[in-house]
Amino acid sequence: MFSPHSRLRHAVADTVAMVVYCFIVGMMIEIFISGMSFQQSLSSRLVSIPVNIVIAFPYGIYRDVMMRQAQRLSPARTVRSLADMLAYVTFQSPVYAAILLFVGADWQQIVTAVSSNMVVSMLMGAAYGYFLEFCRRLFRVSAAPVSAEA
């Protein structure tokens, strides 16, 4: 069905999209909304890179499953945007909280940053979906391959 080469291109496209998007958006949220210092945010973003490398492809598969379910409900763009938002928020929020805890953010900063990220993700979740699709087109791939069990 999907060759190892195709899976590798998917993984690379999804990884590039997640690392770039999360670095930029995360840093803006942490500094301008959550009140973290530049140093704390940079530490958080640097820690997030290997984490994002590990979770990017599984997230792409998770998102594609959510998008297929949304497509079954309705082909409308609004439904796809809601599915993008829901996939991003439900997958990324726990990961983000763990990263902030690891870099030494206090509980107030973590709650503020994760809550802010959830709100921003509601606005930007669809933007990430479009960015992910753009990166996939650059690597000449479409939706991530999903196993028959999914």
Whole-Å CA distances, 109 to 56, 76, 106, 118: 25, 37, 5, 14
pLDDT of residue 34: 80
Tokens 């973290």 -> residue: 36
pLDDT of residue 56: 92
Whether 6 has a pLDDT exceeding 50, the answer reads yes
Average pLDDT of the residues in 139-146: 70
The band of 148, judged by pLDDT with boundaries at 50, 70 and 90, is very low
The band of 66, judged by pLDDT with boundaries at 50, 70 and 90, is very high
Exposure of 70 by Cβ count < 10 A (0-12 exposed, 13-18 middle, 19+ buried)?
buried
Q: Is the four-CA dihedral 66, 97, 10, 1 of positive or negative sign?
A: negative
Per DSSP, 129 falls in state: H
Amino acid identity, residue 79? V
Asked whether 140 and 17 are in contact (CB, 8 A), the reply is no
pLDDT of residue 65: 92
Distance CA 143, CA 29 (A): 28
Sequence-ordered list of residues with C-beta below 8 angstroms from that of 13, at least 6 positions apart, any chain: 60, 132, 135, 136, 138, 139, 141
Whole-Å CA distances, 103 to 50, 85, 132: 14, 26, 27
Residue boundaries of the structural domains of the chain: 4-138
Asked whether 60 and 141 are in contact (CB, 8 A), the reply is no
127 versus 4: the higher-pLDDT residue is: 127
Average pLDDT of the residues in 128-146: 82
54 versus 33: the higher-pLDDT residue is: 54
